[in-house]
Amino acid sequence: MEPATRRYPPNAFFVPLAGLEAGMVAALVFLAWMSVTAILEHRSFWTPENLMASVFYGGAAIRAGLVSTTFSGLALYLLLYSLLGALFAAAFRNRLSRLRLTLAGILFGLCWYFLSFRLIWSSVAPLITSLHIVRTTMWGHAIYGALLARYPVYTAMEPGPARGETAGDEPRPE
């Protein structure tokens, strides 16, 4: 008897795509974490996105609430963090156990935090580094990294019909 679902090993093309998907999901959870904690800090729900929008609009993007510039910050977060997910999946492709992959993801997220918030954003958009909440952002990146490690879940491919069979044929017991 065959198992009910067959799993095929992911090829080199599907792993970065699974990382892209995991990066998008992790980025959405990261942004939800950042937005909810911004409310707890008595800030606007859209503060993280508005801070990221300052890359394009400078200080004019720093507003309370949802404004037209917020969408550019949201898009930049989703694009950048999804691409980081694809990079992570391509780098660690099926090389680590689940626990080690989770730890590597957390380390990756924290390294990205220190690289981006200490080096990149301080020169590109200094408002981001001066106005973000350090502890919340670090925890958010740790959560983001832990969720990145779930990319193998997205590499599971649906089994297709076996060779010589059509989709409607059922294998006959012999």
Q: What is the pLDDT of residues 111-160, one digit of tens each?
A: 999 999 888 888 888 888 877 888 999 999 999 999 999 998 888 744 44
Which range has the worst mean pLDDT, 2-6, 34-38, 121-125, 134-138? 2-6
pLDDT for the residue 118? 87
State yes or no: pLDDT of 55 exceeds 60: yes
68 CB burial (10 A radius; 0-12, 13-18, 19+):
exposed
Tell which wins on pLDDT, 167 or 129.
129
66: its two tokens:
């949802």
Residue type at 143 in one-letter notation: I
State yes or no: pLDDT of 41 exceeds 50: yes
Q: What is the pLDDT of residues 59-114, one digit of tens each?
A: 877 888 888 888 998 999 999 999 999 999 999 887 888 899 999 999 999 999 99
What gap in Å lies between CA 30 and CA 26, rounded to an integer? 6
Q: Which helix (H) or strand (E) is 86 found in, with range?
A: helix 70-91
